[in-house]
Structure 1
């Protein structure tokens, strides 16, 4: 059960410069996520969903506001400190997999373990591949894997360090329906097994509804649909 905040975004603004003038991407976002919670994030394309996720992962610095994740203030950290924070706390699954094409499935999963100096990194990576049903594909390169298999490798890589937070940005966007359902089931299985906090960006309202709570992002602002429904 959720019991304490692990993500706190307070009055987050992000403004980018352009030839036409400033572009306001995030406009005063407030979001609190409890430890162990699964939160579905929905909203139209261009609403700021992925940017908000980048901010709470420390990949993007806000123009204004405070970002506290796993008890650490990210908005005041250096780039090196942010990289170490992500290594130790965050797993990310992207829509387009982002596997290293010259590395095998096993090597891709082992990357974060090796960067963290974990002993027996390849043994751990092999165990995680088995959990996602790919023990027989460990020596295959991404080009030899289907889209669903590549996403399972990406999920294994994201979860192998037992992160406190799992961020999934449209993880089924490049997959067919049946394969996407398999990936979603694996995501929730990993979340349940490790009590990892999960934030899931999706256009699929039914998928979002499987989470403990759904928040909607529109025009750079957050609306908590669970709270709205309660009112």
Structure 2
């Protein structure tokens, strides 16, 4: 039997703490999180509201800096980068899908998807953006503005934008939270299809345990700590 192929760690978080100041004293948001995600995996992060899920995703994306700990994404130490370097790193490596879409209302669907491509210097930005919209079933909606699109269509535009540069990592924070059940299911199917086609590492923040169960690994966070990690449990079982 051939030996197993070594897996490459693409997200490595070590001893991550985040403490915020308040009038009532320090507020501990994250309390010593260790997490490793390998390239090509899909990870569902679940937990109650206020447990620190979205904050953890923001740290993975370099949108939030931890008070303590190290963040290594795609081999790069984010804590060593200034804001400009972080922005360039995100543009080259990370796609993000938010619950609230975050489309620019004065730009068409095509223009919204083309933004990261233009910033990356892609001379064929609009051609690539058109192909991405076609891949999410919106080839006929390129000239429409966000206000002219349904919630599901807006989220598909946001997804097309997030994957437009073929990122190594796709982060999604409650991507179906503002959608009805059927539309949300369609968005999730689309995300998993695009992830499989591109081999992207995908991290989903969700309240939906059934959705998390579709991922290769499931992480549960409570009160700023990892309380369950299916990847760690599977490794322990394999070594028993």
Q: In which range does the TM-score fall when normalised by the shorter chain?
A: over 0.9
The residue aligned with 2:155 is 151
| Structure 2 Cα separation of the partners of residues 61 and 214 of structure 1 | 24
Matches within 5 A, 1:6-45: 6-45=10-49
Q: 1:119, CA displacement in angstroms?
A: 1.5
CA displacement, residues 36-93 of structure 1 (integer Å, 9 cap, x when unaligned): 1000000000000000000010000000000000000001210111011101000000
Contact 1:2 1:36 in 2 (8 A): no
SS at match of 2:140: helix
Matched, 1:128 2:132: yes
Counterpart CA distance in 2 for 1:76 and 1:11 is 16
Query: Residue in 2 aligned with 1:174?
Result: 178
Could you tell me which runs of 5 or more consecutive residues in structure 1 were left unpaired when the two chains were aligned.
Answer: none
Could you tell me how far apart the structure 2 residues matched to 1:52 and 1:219 are?
12
Root mean square deviation of aligned Cα: 1.3
* Residues 172-206 of structure 1: CA deviation (Å, up to 9, x unaligned): 00000110000000100011001100000111100
SS, match of residue 203 in structure 2: strand
Q: 1:192 aligns with which of 187, 193, 196?
A: 196
* 1:48 alignment counterpart: 52
- Helix, strand or coil at the partner of 2:101: coil
Task: Give the superposition deviation at 1:18.
Answer: 0.6
CA–CA separation in structure 1 for the residues paired with 2:103 and 2:211: 25
**Structure 2 CA distance, aligned partners of 1:28 and 1:190?**
33
- For residues 81 and 108 of structure 1, the distance between their equivalents in structure 2, rounded to whole angstroms, comes to 23
| Structure 2 counterpart of 1:59 | 63
Aligned residue in 2 for 1:94: 98
Judged with a 3 Å threshold, the aligned counterparts in structure 2 of structure 1 residues 198 and 2 are, in CA distance, closer, same or farther, namely farther
Deviation at 1:223, TM superposition (A): 2.9
Deviation at 1:23, TM superposition (A): 0.5
1-structure distance, mates of 2:80, 2:15: 15
Q: In structure 1, what is the Cα distance between the partners aligned to 2:130 and 2:37?
A: 31
CA distance, structure 2, for counterparts of residue 3 and residue 191 of structure 1: 18
Q: Where does residue 164 of structure 2 map in the other structure?
A: 160
Deviation, structure 1 residue 2: 8.1
Identify if the C-alpha distance between structure 1 residues 2 and 49 changes in structure 2 by more than 3 Å, giving closer, same or farther: farther
Check 1:82–1:64 CA distance in 2 against 1; reply closer, same or farther (3 A cut).
same
- Report deviation, 1:224: 3.4
Per the alignment, residue 139 of structure 1 pairs with 143
